[in-house]
Amino acid sequence: MFSPKWLRVIPLHLMLVPALLLVLVYSYGPIAGIYLAFEKFMPSKGLFGSPFIGLDNFRYVWDLPDTNQVLINTIVIAGMKIVLNVTAPIILALLLNEVRLKFFKRSIQTIVYLPYFLSWVLLGGILIDILSPSQGIVNQILQSIGLKPIFFLGDPAWFRFTVIVTDLWKEIGFNTIVFLAAITSASPSLYEAAVIDGANRWKQTLNVTLPSMLPIIVLIATLSLGNVLNAGFDQIFNLYSPQVYSQGDILDTFVYRIGIIDTQYGVATAVGLFKSVISFLFISISYLLAYRFANYRIF
C-alpha cells in the first residue's frame, strides 16, 4: 500500500532545512545591518539605539574628494573585466574546439583552468615576485631585450592594465570550460548539413557553433552585468598600495578603509548599500534585455 504523496516528499524537504538555515542566517539576517547606513553608529548604544541621521552618511560620502575617482576606477576595472572575461573565453573555446589532438587539447584545458583554483592571497605573492622591478622574471626579460624595467604594481599608469590582465589569466579557464560544454550541445546533423552546403570551418563556426553557444553566452553576460561595481576586492587588496590609489582604489577597498580601519561603520554601510542597489538595477535591466533580445528567462 502506497503512502500519501506528502509523506514521501517529507524527507526531501528535510534535506533542504540545513541549507535554508544557512541562507537565513548568513544572507537574510545581516540585512538588518542596512539600518547602519542611516544612523551615527555608537557601539555603546547598539544598532537600534544609535542616533538616526537619515541620508547624512550618503551626503558625507559624496562630499569626499576621492569618491568620484573611486567610482570611476571601479567602473573601468569592472567593465573591462566583464568584457574580457566573456569574449576571451569564447575565442579560446572556439580555438580549442578545432584542436583534434585530444592529449594536447586536454593539456591546454588543464593549464588554463588551474589558476582558477588558486586564491588571490597566493597569486598575489606570486605576482609580486614575478613582476618585481628589480628581481622579477618579467622585468629581467624586458631588460635582456633592451627595455627599461616597469613597476607594474607601483606605477599608476600600469596598475589597471596589470589587474585586468592577471584577472583574465585567473578566470579565463572556468568560462572556457563552460563554453566548450555549450559547443557540444550543437547537433552533428547541423555540421553535416553545413558541409553539404559547402561551408568551410569558419562558416560552420559562424552559422552553427556560435548560435548553439548563444544561450550560454547570454547567461554568462547577464550574470556578469550584476558585477559592474564589483571590481574584485581580493585581487586589488592583495596587489595595490597607496601610490596607486589614484588608479586602483575601488569601492570595496574604499569601504574597507572607511569601515574597518577608520571605524566609520555607518558611512561604510552607506557605500555598500549604494553599490548593492546599483548592482541590483543593472542585473534587473540585463535580465530584461536578455529576455527581449535572446528570449532568455530564468523562470
Residue 184: predicted pLDDT: 83
What residue ranges of the chain have pLDDT lower than 70?
1-3, 293-299
Residue 3: what residue type?
Answer: S
Residue 166: predicted pLDDT: 92
Rounded to 5°, the CA angle 186-192-197 comes to: 120
Model pTM above 0.85: no
CA distance 151 to 138: 10
Q: What is the pLDDT of residues 69-80, one digit of tens each?
A: 988 999 899 889
Residue 225: predicted pLDDT: 76
Q: What is the pLDDT of residues 193-214, one digit of tens each?
A: 888 878 788 888 888 888 888 8
Helix (H) / strand (E) containing 237:
helix 233-239
Domains for the chain: give ranges and CATH numbers.
55-294 (1.10.3720.10)
Q: Are 168 and 84 in contact (CB under 8 A)?
A: yes
| Beta carbons within 10 angstroms of residue 200's beta carbon | 9
| Beta carbons within 10 angstroms of residue 215's beta carbon | 15
Q: Are 168 and 89 in contact (CB under 8 A)?
A: no
- On the 0-12 / 13-18 / 19+ scale of CB atoms within 10 A, 128 is middle
Residue 146: predicted pLDDT: 86
Could you identify the residue written with the cell 541621521? Answer: 53
Residue 299: predicted pLDDT: 62
Residue 2: predicted pLDDT: 52
Buried/exposed 29-55: b ≥16 CB within 10 Å, e otherwise: eeeeeeebbbbbbeeeeeeeebeeeee
3-state DSSP assignment of residue 201: helix
CA distance 281 to 289: 12
Residue 3: predicted pLDDT: 59
